[in-house]
Chains A and B, each alone.
Chain A
Amino acid sequence: MKKNINPDAVYAASDSVVVRLVENQIVLLSIDPGESGGDEADNEPYFLNTTGRIIWRKMDGRKNLKDVVKVLSAEFRTPAKVIEKDVAAFVEKLVERKFLVMVSES
């Protein structure tokens, strides 16, 4: 896992995100204005790719990241190490964009 992502923590969609399904793709929309001087893309709609969509659906606000990795590893018969890397990158990006927030540390 990436240093700033806690594998024991539980993450969930923040209350500043609206999730819509468009052409079978999940799009995340932020209702928080971007910070001044920040990246202008911060307020743009964020379309999840296939991997992202699969991970997003497992982020139910109850399972911690280790459990999410475990479930995905079993479901897709893929080594946990591989899944873990994707999950960490995904969570890091979405936390940065404030689409995901940590709801409990363990």
Chain B
Amino acid sequence: MPYDKVIKDSDIEYIREQTGWAYQDMKWLSKEEAVKAGSERNALLQSVSGRVIKHFNESKISTGPLSPGCMTCGKGTWSCIFIGSLCTANCFYCPQDRKQKKDEPPNESGLIFNDPDDYVDYLEKFKFKGVSFSGGEPFLKFKEVLAFIKKIRKRLGRGIYIWVYTNGDLVDEKKLKALKQAGLNEIRFDIAARKYSLKAAKMAAGIIDRVTVEIPAVPEDYEILKKCLPKMKAMGVAHLNLHQLNATEQCFRPFIDHGYTFLHQPNIAVLESEMTALRIVKDVLDNNIGLSVNYCTPVYKHRFQKKAYRKRFQPYIKEKYEDLTESEFIRRLSVQDKPANLKEIVRAFQKSKCDGGLWFFDERENKLFFHPSLLDKIDSGRHNLIVNYYTPMLTTVPGKEDEGVKEVVLNARRKFMVERNLLHELTIDNPAAVKFFQELFIEKKNERDVLKRFYSDYDLKTKADVNEMMNEKDNICYLKTWEFVGSGLYEIY
């Protein structure tokens, strides 16, 4: 089975699990429909080619510069604090549970920050350059937002970019001036929450330095949004950030009722929403509106926001004998054998005066872990190579140190834990396949050359060996999921 098919099957399986009962009711594309939709999207992309800026491995496009806040997101230095969970609106596309009537405390990445000082310690510790306030509706907790902004500015100065999201319901001049006074750089309005009213955005444009409209691309609202574009430009809106609708558990039913087509992507995106966003991008360019539209895709978020999270927390759990992939997953290599055989390898490491931190012999498990730089010293004819991928995960529940849980001290009052989650394990038992893995992911050689060598060197005696070789190739290529960030928009299927 070709490896792209393996990846697709894996995505489909994952989404089936995520969507559960709803999967049967959701509209998915047939193979033919997917090809047609892909062609339509390509035609739209072609029509704006050369007129848009591609960002972050071509995972998103824009018609002009991105907001400084969006740049911090792309560079992995953005923190978004959810100041509360209650809202004044009830949007059908809201990813959160709107039936929840109990407010949640301010939180980021699962950590609660009731004290602004703790949050600033967190920002400082992880060298964030951009902070946004989201919710719920942040203006429902206006005093808290103001207190946090003041504390951030007082302790971190002007070197941090701050913005707030709102649906505009509770916005007034007094509050906007107070936010400006406290040091807010940007305000972002979800005008889709209130029938595309630009009243609050207009009010903010004269007060806050940068005003952005940030909305999901709602397919049935295309015409009304199109009409808003020149108005936005005229009133001083600097950016229009368009998101592709993606379905969380809360949205399955409303999206089904809207007749949307779902895509087998990690964030379960809506096909019609992407087409709408691209049409808006095209409209802005064709009509010389001069508005900077940023089409922020789920695949961008999947690649870059998650990579940033891993980059931030992996240093606490990564061992010296482990390595990082391009997408900041922790890669661990090991061999398993009788202790006597593993000790033989250890002796070879010692004889070559290898840094002792680059390998670890676990006698209980009969496993030898080693840094990829030592892979050449392992005889792949005698030992299978075991490859593991891990991601860091924040937790506030104390765990055992020997289970890979590490404590992070924020300040005298606060600490939290980082644990490692195993994502994937592969045992590679053929020497040519080990070489293929090494050249493709460790040495990062050209894939065609590496594959050519693999096909040429693999010991083929029977037809069954050919199938075995293809399976090994697919299994190794599947590791790209954790090895590479990926580029371009997600394939439609």
Please list the residues of chain A having a beta carbon within 8 angstroms of any beta carbon in chain B. 16, 18, 20, 22-23, 25, 27, 29, 31-34, 36-37, 40, 42-45, 47
Contact = CB atoms under 8 A, between A and B. Distances in A.
Contacts of A33: 2, 4
Given A22-B466, A44-B2, A31 B448 contact: yes
A25 B462 CA distance: 10
A22 B461 contact: yes
A36 B4 contact: yes
26 contacts: A16-B448, A18-B452, A18-B455, A18-B456, A20-B460, A20-B466, A22-B462, A22-B463, A22-B466, A23-B461, A23-B463, A25-B463, A29-B455, A32-B448, A34-B4, A36-B4, A36-B491, A37-B31, A37-B34, A37-B35, A37-B38, A42-B2, A43-B2, A44-B470, A45-B466, A47-B463
Contacts, number: 47
B460 A22 contact: yes
A34 B455 contact: no
Nearest to B474: A43
Name B's interface SS: helix
B465 interface: yes
A40 to B, nearest CB: 5
Interface string B456-475: 10001111011000100000
A-B pairs, top 4 by smallest CB distance, nearest first, are A18-B455, A43-B2, A37-B35, A31-B451
Contacts of A31: 448, 451-452, 455
Contact of B462 (A16, A18, A23, A45): A23
Contacts of B4: 33-34, 36
A27 B31 CA distance: 29
B2 A40 contact: yes
A23 B463 CA distance: 7
Q: By CB atoms of chain A within 10 A, which of B1, B35, B455 has the most?
A: B455
B5 interface: yes
